[in-house]
Amino acid sequence: MTVVAATPTANGHKPFPQFIQEFKAQLKHLFHIRSDINQLSIKRGMPPFILREIMSSTPLSTYIPEQYGGRGGHIHEGLALAAAASYESLPLSLGFGINWALFLQPTGKYGEEKIKAKVFTDFLTNQKMGGLMITEPGYGSDALHMQSSYTTKDGNYHLQGTKHWAGLTGWADYWLLTARQKNKNGKLKRDIDFFICDVSAPEQNIVVEEFYENLGVYLLPYGRNHIDVKIPSGQKLVPQSTGIKMMLDLLHRSRMQFPGMAMGFLQRMLDEAVQHCQERQVGGKSLFNYDQVQQRISHLQSAYTICSAMCFNSSQKAGVENDLAPHGLEANAVKTYVTDLMQSSAQSLLQLVGAKGYRLDHIAGRAIVDS
Ligand SMILES: Cc1cc2nc3c(=O)[nH]c(=O)nc-3n(C[C@H](O)[C@H](O)[C@H](O)COP(=O)(O)OP(=O)(O)OC[C@H]3O[C@@H](n4cnc5c(N)ncnc54)[C@H](O)[C@@H]3O)c2cc1C
């Protein structure tokens, strides 16, 4: 028998199928042998050694274009990585998704050359992370009326405002900050601009005023941030038309990529449900034999199938080469429907598991608050 060695991809990365298999094995080892994810998940944050180990295989290289040393940012690979992470931990996958859709993709698509090269190198060699701040205490759905503002002086953009609920608050090394330009009369212009903030650089530090006690996804920090930073001119994103269209393009891409995160989660719900129902004896027979139980399991199977189709659809459409700004209906429907599938699947698993699932240190209970 001839054994053909797998050829490494450009930039010396392992072939993706090998990388993803090893990544899954690494997560299993980290969360079930070196530590116990059920215990980790009742506390906020993550022990530094776990995060260090996860980042040591440079998973975020999947989201970085090939010409900057990454794996190429292919959508199908990004979805597969999100699914591998969410099988073990939904918040870990959400953290990857934030870095991917809310920071790396928009930076790659709209950033200036010099800052892009620096940011991508920092992600690849120093395991840096990035997030996005749009929401303000007074303006959530109504983000177009945000009050964060900027003025231009001495080649810098001076941004001021308050942002909250940004995933990776206090953790991320880079932020995409959003603000409206203030004119000489103190009025805010209609359009929204995006700036790359490097919190380790002078005058770009972001102060976290409060960390929130978020209901689920304990791994991820959220909070309220005070923004008063001076951003160098090369760090403003350059929209192809308006900033609002750029924002829609990136938000819709993020929503189209939700099925990746949902995929691993739904597979886990299904695997847990099948295993539990086969093992649990009620009334002298396995739970699996009851028709109402089978109906719930068939719902879980159909959620899995629908989500697989959505992943395929997104892998065809969500590439950065496409402008997703006009595709709000599809992107919003994908996100809404797939998150409903996640929530109803979590409910099904909790019903099937019964009382022992009604705990934060059980996957069924956690799935309810995380999804
Ligand atoms: C877990 C989590 C993660 C988040 N991550 C980020 C992040 O990374 N970056 C970031 O910038 N923000 C983030 N957010 C904030 C999120 O984008 C906002 O919560 C969202 O935009 C809604 O804003 P709001 O909470 O102020 O609700 P509001 O805008 O006050 O809305 C309240 C309710 O009214 C509904 N509503 C709004 N408009 C209408 C309407 N026209 N008709 C009927 N109903 C309406 C909304 O759907 C909602 O149910 C996150 C929030 C959460 C909970």
Dihedrals φ, ψ of 59, to 5°? -60, -30
Confidence at residue 10, expressed as pLDDT on a 0 to 100 scale: 73
Confidence at residue 6, expressed as pLDDT on a 0 to 100 scale: 54
CB 173 within 8 A of CB 99: no
362 pLDDT above the threshold of 90: yes
Mean pLDDT estimate for the chain: 96
Residue nearest to atom 30 of ligand 1 (CA): 140
- Summarize the confidence of residues 47-71 as an average pLDDT: 96
For the chain, what are the domain ranges?
14-128, 132-241, 245-370
Side chain identity at 135, as an amino acid letter? Answer: T
| Residue 185 near ligand 1, beta carbon < 6 Å | no
Complex ipTM: 0.98
Residue nearest to atom 41 of ligand 1 (CA): 141
* Residues in contact with 229: Cβ distance below 8 Å, sequence separation at least 6, in sequence order: 158, 159, 177, 197, 203, 204, 205, 206
Residue nearest to atom 37 of ligand 1 (CA): 141
CA 149 to centroid of chain Cα atoms: 26
* Atom in ligand 1 nearest the alpha carbon of residue 178: 11
| Secondary structure of residue 134 in the 3-state scheme | coil
CA 222-225-228 angle, to 5 degrees, is 155
CA 199-204-207 angle, to 5 degrees, is 75
* Atom in ligand 1 nearest the alpha carbon of residue 163: 11
| Residue 134 near ligand 1, beta carbon < 6 Å | yes
CB 115 within 8 A of CB 196: yes
| Residue 90 near ligand 1, beta carbon < 6 Å | no
| Residue 141 near ligand 1, beta carbon < 6 Å | yes
Confidence at residue 146, expressed as pLDDT on a 0 to 100 scale: 98
Please tell me the least confidently modeled range out of 6-15, 19-28, 111-120, 328-337.
Answer: 6-15
Cα separation of 116 and 68, whole Å?
A: 8
Strands (E), 217-367: 223-232, 281-282, 285-286
Query: From the CB of residue 236, how many other CB atoms can be counted at a distance below 10 Å?
Result: 20
Confidence of residue 176 (pLDDT cuts 50, 70, 90): very high
CA–centroid distance, residue 55 to ligand 1 (Å): 30
Confidence at residue 11, expressed as pLDDT on a 0 to 100 scale: 83
pLDDT tens-digit series, residues 252-309: 999 999 999 999 999 999 999 999 999 999 999 999 999 999 999 999 999 999 999 9
For the chain, percent of residues with pLDDT exceeding 90: 96
Query: What topology does CATH give the domain 245-370?
Result: Butyryl-CoA Dehydrogenase, subunit A; domain 3 (1.20.140)
| Residue 61 near ligand 1, beta carbon < 6 Å | no
| Residue 161 near ligand 1, beta carbon < 6 Å | no
* Atom in ligand 1 nearest the alpha carbon of residue 168: 8
Confidence of residue 370 (pLDDT cuts 50, 70, 90): very high
83 pLDDT above the threshold of 90: yes
Q: Class of the 132-241 domain?
A: mainly beta
* Atom in ligand 1 nearest the alpha carbon of residue 143: 21
CA–centroid distance, residue 148 to ligand 1 (Å): 17
pLDDT tens-digit series, residues 223-260: 999 999 999 999 999 999 999 999 999 999 999 999 99
CB 341 within 8 A of CB 267: no
Confidence at residue 4, expressed as pLDDT on a 0 to 100 scale: 47
CATH number of 14-128: 1.10.540.10
- Summarize the confidence of residues 351-360 as an average pLDDT: 97
CB 105 within 8 A of CB 131: no
CB 198 within 8 A of CB 174: yes
* Residues in contact with 184: Cβ distance below 8 Å, sequence separation at least 6, in sequence order: none
| Residue 132 near ligand 1, beta carbon < 6 Å | yes
pLDDT tens-digit series, residues 92-126: 999 999 999 999 999 999 999 999 999 999 999 99
Confidence at residue 1, expressed as pLDDT on a 0 to 100 scale: 43
